[in-house]
């Protein structure tokens, strides 16, 4: 099996280097032959294809981005796209054109919960990303067959391509319809209640936050039926997060709250997030590692980083300056937001949520990670095993 995957990957690599990419300049379809109306799927304007033949009788044989092969009228094949293209719209084409507030290019939405997007069109290939109900995904070619694979990257670049089955993508799910479907189920139909409630919760995180409370009300019913202690604890924690999000402070209030924050590193308080290089070395000694990073946005003090077991800093040696980037919280290091708000290694995740839930931003896709806004950056706070693990200063580019 491993040999098969290797050969497929090698084939795709050779293919991507040996064939030029062309563009579909209007809505069209991938036909099974040049003299039939039978087709395999829909192309949207801007889709990429690879040519498998020269033009014959006004047709090209092409390969779509899910590796299906078929025929396209030659008039719809271009070497590039331009503003003057006359786009013919296929009213039966399910792909949504870009420009809505969910996605900027051709797209559809994920319909299933916790969907595994794979690196190859194969059920056993590696998982590239976990996608949630309501996620918008790039789609330029859509197979007609529900059980065919669809490329969710809109192209042929190996580092980006990922696949799922056609039946798992479509128009954006409707929250009210899902809630009604759940409410109609028999209370003892736990498998279907679990499936739909998972979709409801994920869609709620992808929607207006006011939908989170009714979503979790239903999901929590199912979780209690399942009687899984770990899932129950995770759900109750997420419900506490939602409770805080429902009462979120304003951006001005959050920035005021975090404005005077500083670290205490081995008993030494920093002035904001800066200290001298001399002071840094005095406290922590010589760094375990020095490295230069690529800082295209120019957000750090310097491209030179000092790495310690419990600290990462950007250092300008010529100016004798150091800027704190990430602190690992332990018995020596803590974050002091103000006199009444100290985050040290005794802080549990549950206690953090209960006290600071109205100040944080959170995502179901990044469990146990939270953000607190600052004026030109944010704290990124991570918990492990229920305890505070690290605080990173993330600067906006």
Question: Phi and psi for 34 in degrees, rounded to 5?
Answer: -85, -5
Q: Please tell me what DSSP assigns to residue 211.
A: G
Q: Which two tokens stand for residue 51?
A: 């040519």
Does the structure show a pLDDT above 90 at 164?
A: yes
Beta bridge partners of 369: 382
Q: Are 185 and 196 in contact (CB under 8 A)?
A: yes
- Residue 312 to residue 322: CA distance in whole angstroms: 10
* Pairing mode of beta strands 262-265, 333-338: antiparallel
Instruction: Report the pLDDT value the prediction gives residue 3, as an integer from 0 to 100.
Output: 46
pLDDT digits (tens, 9 = 90+) for 68-107: 999 999 999 999 988 778 778 899 999 998 778 888 899 9
Does the structure show a pLDDT above 80 at 278?
A: yes
pLDDT digits (tens, 9 = 90+) for 287-345: 999 999 888 888 899 999 999 999 999 999 999 999 999 999 999 999 999 889 999 99
> Which stretch of DSSP H or E encloses residue 10?
helix 2-18
Q: Which two tokens stand for residue 44?
A: 């949207």
Q: Three-class SS string for 60-126? A: EEEECCCCCEEEEEHHHEECCCCCCCCCCCCCCCCCECCCCCCCCCCEEEECCCCEEEECCCCCCCC
Mapped onto helix, strand or coil, the DSSP state of residue 12 is helix
Question: Phi and psi for 97 in degrees, rounded to 5?
Answer: -75, 150
Does the structure show a pLDDT above 80 at 249?
A: yes
Instruction: Report the pLDDT value the prediction gives residue 16, as an integer from 0 to 100.
Output: 42
Does the structure show a pLDDT above 60 at 224?
A: yes
- Residue 130 to residue 127: CA distance in whole angstroms: 8
pTM (2 d.p.):
0.87
Q: Please spell the DSSP secondary structure of 285-337, one letter per residue.
A: -S-SEEEE---TT--SS-SEEEEETTEEEEEETTTTEEEEEEEE-SSSEEEEE
pLDDT digits (tens, 9 = 90+) for 165-202: 999 999 999 999 999 999 999 999 999 999 999 999 99
Q: Are 70 and 30 in contact (CB under 8 A)?
A: yes
For 240, counting Cβ atoms within 10 Å of its Cβ (0-12 exposed, 13-18 middle, 19+ buried), the class is: middle
Q: How confident is the model at residue 6 (pLDDT cuts 50, 70, 90)?
A: very low
- Residue 15 to residue 125: CA distance in whole angstroms: 19
For 184, counting Cβ atoms within 10 Å of its Cβ (0-12 exposed, 13-18 middle, 19+ buried), the class is: exposed
Q: How much of the chain exceeds pLDDT 70, in percent? A: 95
- Residue 70 to residue 378: CA distance in whole angstroms: 50
- Residue 1 to residue 27: CA distance in whole angstroms: 38
pLDDT digits (tens, 9 = 90+) for 109-152: 999 999 999 999 999 999 999 999 999 999 999 999 999 999 99
Q: Are 395 and 293 in contact (CB under 8 A)?
A: no
Nearest to 277 by CA among 286, 269, 268: 286
Instruction: Report the pLDDT value the prediction gives residue 10, as an integer from 0 to 100.
Output: 44
Give the list of residues 6+ apart from residue 62 with CB closer than 8 angstroms, or none: 22, 30, 49, 50, 51, 52, 69, 70, 71, 72, 77
Average pLDDT value over all residues in the chain: 92
Instruction: Report the pLDDT value the prediction gives residue 19, as an integer from 0 to 100.
Output: 66
Q: Which two tokens stand for residue 62?
A: 């092409």
């Amino acid at each position: 099996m491993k040999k098969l995957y290797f050969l497929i990957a090698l084939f795709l690599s050779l293919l991507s280097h040996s064939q030029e990419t062309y563009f579909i300049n209007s809505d069209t379809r991938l036909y099974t032959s040049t003299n039939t109306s039978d087709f395999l799927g829909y192309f949207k304007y801007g889709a990429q294809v690879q040519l498998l033949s020269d033009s014959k009788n006004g047709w090209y044989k092409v390969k779509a981005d899910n590796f299906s092969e078929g025929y396209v009228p030659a008039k719809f094949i271009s070497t590039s796209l331009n503003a003057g293209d006359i786009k013919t719209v296929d009213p039966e084409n399910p792909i949504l054109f870009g420009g809505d507030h969910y996605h900027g290019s051709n797209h559809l939405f994920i319909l299933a919960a916790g969907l595994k997007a794979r690196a190859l069109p194969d059920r056993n290939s590696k998982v590239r990303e976990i996608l949630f109900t309501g996620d918008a995904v790039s789609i330029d070619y859509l197979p007609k067959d529900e059980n065919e694979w669809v490329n969710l990257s809109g192209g042929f670049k190996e580092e980006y391509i990922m696949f799922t089955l056609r039946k798992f993508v479509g128009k954006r799910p409707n929250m009210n319809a899902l809630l009604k479907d759940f409410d109609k189920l028999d209370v003892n139909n736990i498998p279907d209640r679990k499936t739909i409630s998972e979709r409801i919760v994920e869609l709620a995180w992808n929607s207006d936050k006011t939908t989170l409370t009714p979503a979790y009300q239903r999901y929590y019913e199912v979780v209690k039926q399942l009687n899984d202690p770990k899932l129950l604890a995770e759900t109750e924690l997420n419900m506490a997060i939602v409770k805080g999000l429902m009462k979120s402070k304003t951006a001005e209030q959050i920035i005021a709250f975090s404005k005077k924050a500083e670290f205490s590193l081995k008993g030494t308080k920093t002035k904001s997030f800066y200290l001298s290089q001399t002071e840094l070395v005095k406290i922590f000694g010589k760094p375990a590692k020095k490295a230069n990073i690529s800082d295209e946005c120019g957000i750090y003090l310097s491209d030179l980083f000092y790495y310690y077991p419990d600290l990462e800093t950007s250092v300008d040696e010529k100016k004798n300056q150091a800027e704190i980037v990430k602190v690992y919280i332990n018995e020596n290091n803590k974050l002091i937001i103000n006199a009444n708000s100290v985050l040290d290694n005794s802080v549990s995740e549950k206690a953090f949520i209960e006290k600071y839930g109205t100040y944080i931003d959170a995502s179901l896709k990044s469990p146990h990670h939270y953000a607190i806004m600052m004026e030109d950056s944010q704290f990124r706070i991570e918990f492990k095993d229920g305890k505070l693990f690290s605080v990173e200063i993330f600067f906006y580019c």
